Amino acid sequence: MERASAELINRFLDNDQQSVGISMNLQHSAATPLGISVRVRTELIERDGKKLTFKAEAWDLVEKIGEAIHERFIINAETSQETQFLQNSGRTVKCSYSVQCLAHTYM
């Protein structure tokens, strides 16, 4: 779920930016046998400055297997000691769109 969220946002970042995961609240609701494909849908549900919040859900071939709230932070990729990480500036923006990440199969 973290990977799907990162890949979703990466296509919208400038070349000198990247995102890093800062939290994951995951509820795992069902087991999936090894080797079974898992589909993940992630949605950007909130933006507060450089902090992004995603809602992610995962399914195997049978049922929903989990859901998560995942937070990422946009940083300057060229800065080795990122002081922006602890800054939380800007206003909250609710995103009214959903993007489904179905191109990747995770096993």
Query: Domains in the chain, please, with CATH?
Result: 2-93 (3.10.129.10)
Q: What confidence category does residue 78 fall into, taking pLDDT thresholds of 50, 70 and 90?
A: confident
Higher pLDDT, 28 or 98: 28
Identify the CA nearest to 68 among candidates 26, 99, 38, 32: 26
Identify the CA nearest to 68 among candidates 31, 14, 25, 33: 25
| Average pLDDT rounded to a whole number, residues 71-98 | 55
Burial class (CB in 10 A: 0-12, 13-18, 19+), 90: exposed
Q: What is the pLDDT of residue 55?
A: 95
Q: What is the pLDDT of residue 93?
A: 33
| Average pLDDT rounded to a whole number, residues 7-28 | 92
Pairing of strands 17-28, 64-76: antiparallel
Category of 48 on φ-ψ map: left (φ > 0), alpha (ψ -120 to 50) or beta = beta
Rg (the chain; Cα; Å): 15
pTM over 0.75: no
- State yes or no: pLDDT of 98 exceeds 90: no
